[in-house]
Amino acid sequence: MSNPYADRVRGELLHEWRVSQQLEVSALASKSNLSVAQIRQLEGGGHSLFYTPAIKESAARKLARLLGGDPAVVVQPLDDFQAQDEPKVIQDLTHLFGQKSVPRKPTSVFYRQPGLIAAPILILMAVVSASGWLQQKWQHGGSQQFWRETPSVFANLAVEPSSAAPALATPALALPADAPAAPLAQAVEADKHVPTLAQAAMATQVAEPVQSRHVALGLCGKVEAGTVLVPTRPSKSGNMVYIVAQKDGAVCVVDASGASTVLALKTHETRSVYGPPPWRVHFEQPQQAQLYFQGVRLRLPETQVTTLALQEGSTSY
């Protein structure tokens, strides 16, 4: 059976090409306008960070070109994927039927629960020992001596735990001598001056043009009425807007609660914004980006429109 949503991106090729060039994930993310998490998902599998499988496959081809690989081989053709998937299903079914046909040997109750054997043996040993001791007392001292000595035996048993209690006291633990603190302080001070790879990667992702962010903040203050767009055949809820930049520029996205998200996007860069609908989207210039809303790519007006109002369409689910 074929799975139309199966992951056909050959992430192992992308990983092999990147490692062969000794290129870090953060550096590749900066070159490709993708996030570090998206590149890791391209190499490892999954669709959660991409709006559709087609967008993920397009991003994989883009990485292949940047790494000097063949974009045609990084996405496995659907026919080859089906041909590889069907023999595996047949093998799994054959293995399953083979397991059911092999009779299982009944496991012994005593093998599963060794205590069932050990408990009777211990009880039998205790009874034999007690009978031998009673017989010896009866022969050497008679019944009267036995009844005179028996209370003293139990009295000694009652006294012994209290007398032995001090011996069970926990010995004091010997604490190690204080180690010199100077080497530790020097090591901590040295670590402060060594930038980590994670900090460098985060700085690369957060860095954005200051001028574009100032422009985006100005866009958020616009109050003009925008062109209303409603998806005709929605398939998802309206709590997310997906943006694919076609030009460099600033974007301001405002949800129904008034929360503003300021973005400074480069060409082909993508972002997802979450919040309650309806939405208002302000662009720095017309035809700046593609918009996906409720699982549908919206058709933008060809006029010089920079403000759009996104309203939910009725869904069938």
Which tens digits make up the pLDDT trace of 187-244? 445 455 445 555 654 554 544 555 666 676 788 887 776 789 999 889 888 999 999 9
Same domain, 1 and 96: yes
Same domain, 61 and 133: no
What is the pTM assigned to this prediction?
0.40
Whether residue 291 lies inside any domain: the answer is yes
Specify the number of domains making up the chain: 3
Same domain, 71 and 133: no
Whether residue 205 lies inside any domain: the answer is no
280, two tokens? 């208002």
Domain CATH for 77? 1.10.260.40
Contact between 67 and 46 (Cβ < 8 Å): no
Q: Kindly tell me if the per-residue pLDDT of 276 is higher than 70.
A: yes
Domain boundary residue, one of 41, 67, 101: 101
Same domain, 132 and 216: no
Question: Which amino acid, 177?
Answer: A
Contact between 253 and 273 (Cβ < 8 Å): yes
Same domain, 302 and 215: yes
Whether residue 260 lies inside any domain: the answer is yes
Which tens digits make up the pLDDT trace of 63-101? 999 999 899 899 988 765 555 555 555 566 666 766 655
Same domain, 48 and 121: no
Whether residue 155 lies inside any domain: the answer is no
Domain that holds residue 31: 1-101
Same domain, 301 and 254: yes
Could you tell me where the beta strands, DSSP code E, fall in 214-303? 227-229, 240-245, 249-254, 260-265, 270-274, 279-283, 289-293, 296-297
Same domain, 127 and 61: no
